[in-house]
Structure 1
Amino acid sequence: MIRFLAISLFIVLVTAGCSLKTTEGLREVTVAQPTISNPYFSNAEVDYVYKAKIALYDKNFGGILIIKKTGSDSHRVVFTTEFGSKLFDFYFEGENFQKNFIIPEMDKKLVVKTLEQDFRLLISEKIQVLEEFDSEAQNIYKTDIGKNFGFYFFEKDSRRLRKIVKASKRKEKVTIDFKIVEENIAQSITLQHENFKLRIELEKFKKE
């Protein structure tokens, strides 16, 4: 009997440890649409220009981040100082990634790979849905991101994308919050890692 109780308790603890906070309290529903869209960097006629702060380990970088859609499935992402000196310059085309330039302080294999994955998550437009969840105010779509999953949170009323969470089966890894949206452009974006010292804050650059 004691052995049975111990095994049962172990199973409960393991199951609890494997659950994601992201899906707590959500109700799984039938998938209503096979794909979803992230519209925020999808217009090739718009230069998406942001004041940016990047906190990486114990260093802080500030400047201007420009995201430009250059083709049907391609984007260029450039981060410069306010005086125009490049900090990094990336090019995405489909599954391909090209590092055009990056400063030595950031030019570490893990850092470059992490930035690649973060910006790919930010700019990916059409995403295949695996599962769908429902809450009182939001529809949440689970998607496949290689060895991880993406959870896309859309407001029911406005149908605006408000949050993306990248997670493994057991824990959240990255959260992207779209705090303000005007004319289908995200005005304020925060990207926060859970177990890696990287935070990106973006505020839409407004011409005075």
Structure 2
Amino acid sequence: MRSLLISSLLVVLAGCGSAYKTLQPAGGNRNCVEAFRPVFGSDLYKAQVEVAGKNLSGLLLIKTMEDGSTRVVFSTETGVKFFDFEFGVEGGFRAHYVMKKLDKKMVVNALRNDFDLVLMNGLGQGADRLMRREYKYYHGFQKGKKTAWYVTDADCAALQHAELGSRRQLLVDARLFAGEGKLFSGGGQAPDSVSIRHHNFNFNIALKKLDR
């Protein structure tokens, strides 16, 4: 009985360990992920959103405005809005509209963090931290008490994925793809598809670009 109790305790303690505990400091170019920043003109995506047990589908428009801000608008195919967000050039955020069923602080904050991660807002003057785990390099940008991590190969030739994490826990991972499922390499383009998955509650977003 005692050995079983000790084993159970070790399992619990292991589960409480930091998701980033095994990262090691690394050297390299702290500005290289800037090349992966997606460039949106007026790009329309087929969107599937799963949140709190509800499934929403429709069209998501990401548009760069004349003042450099970015509008993200999610609506049904008949034009009924779910939300309309504005992301400012200097990191500002404004919710122009949120459907009543989604108008909860936790949901709005989660959506803001998700699209900040995908738009690569707040990269500043380069990564605050550069870490590695085996062949993956983690470029970390501080976001208050959280960190946005952009994960690349050693040569920073392709964006493997992006993560938002607290000090101990992986909260969100986002994956951007070029056409035919290839890893996104930037080059002044918008991604062909995007997948966003939350790890702390049931909230997932899938986007597929439409030809216009």
Ranges in structure 1 where 5+ consecutive residues have no aligned partner: 1-5
| Alignment partner, residue 194 of structure 1 | 199
Please state how far the C-alpha of 1:192 moved relative to its aligned partner: 0.7
Deviations 1:44-73 (A, max 9, x none): xx2121110011101111011111122565
8 A contact 1:154–1:160 mirrored in 2 = yes
Question: Normalising to structure 1: TM-score of the pair?
Answer: 0.79
Equivalent position SS for 2:168: coil
Please state how far the C-alpha of 1:173 moved relative to its aligned partner: 0.5
Matched AA of 1:103: M
Equivalent position SS for 1:30: coil
8 A contact 1:53–1:61 mirrored in 2 = yes
- Does the alignment pair 1:170 with 2:157? no
Equivalent position to 1:56, from 44, 48, 51:
51
Residues 102-121 of structure 1 mapped to structure 2, 5 A cutoff:
102-121=98-117
- Does the alignment pair 1:70 with 2:65? yes
Larger relative strand fraction: 1
Question: Normalising to structure 2: TM-score of the pair?
Answer: 0.77
Identity %: 26
8 A contact 2:32–2:156 mirrored in 1 = no
Ranges in structure 2 where 5+ consecutive residues have no aligned partner: 1-5
Rounded Cα–Cα distance in structure 1 between residues aligned with 2:55 and 2:94: 24
| Alignment partner, residue 144 of structure 1 | 142
Matched AA of 2:173: T
- Does the alignment pair 1:88 with 2:83? yes
| Structure-2 change in CA distance of 1:33 and 1:100 (3 Å) | same
Rounded Cα–Cα distance in structure 1 between residues aligned with 2:13 and 2:31: 32
- Does the alignment pair 1:29 with 2:29? no
CA RMSD of aligned residues (A): 2.8
| Structure-2 change in CA distance of 1:155 and 1:83 (3 Å) | farther
| Structure-2 change in CA distance of 1:38 and 1:116 (3 Å) | farther
Rounded Cα–Cα distance in structure 2 between residues aligned with 1:62 and 1:71: 28
Please state how far the C-alpha of 1:18 moved relative to its aligned partner: 3.2
| Alignment partner, residue 3 of structure 1 | none
Matched AA of 1:171: Q
| Structure-2 change in CA distance of 1:135 and 1:110 (3 Å) | closer
Equivalent position to 1:42, from 39, 43, 49:
39
Matched AA of 2:104: K
Rounded Cα–Cα distance in structure 2 between residues aligned with 1:104 and 1:148: 28
- Does the alignment pair 1:129 with 2:131? no
Rounded Cα–Cα distance in structure 2 between residues aligned with 1:53 and 1:141: 29
Deviations 1:10-33 (A, max 9, x none): 9xx86883331x564x54212432
8 A contact 1:173–1:195 mirrored in 2 = yes
Aligned length: 193
8 A contact 2:47–2:206 mirrored in 1 = yes
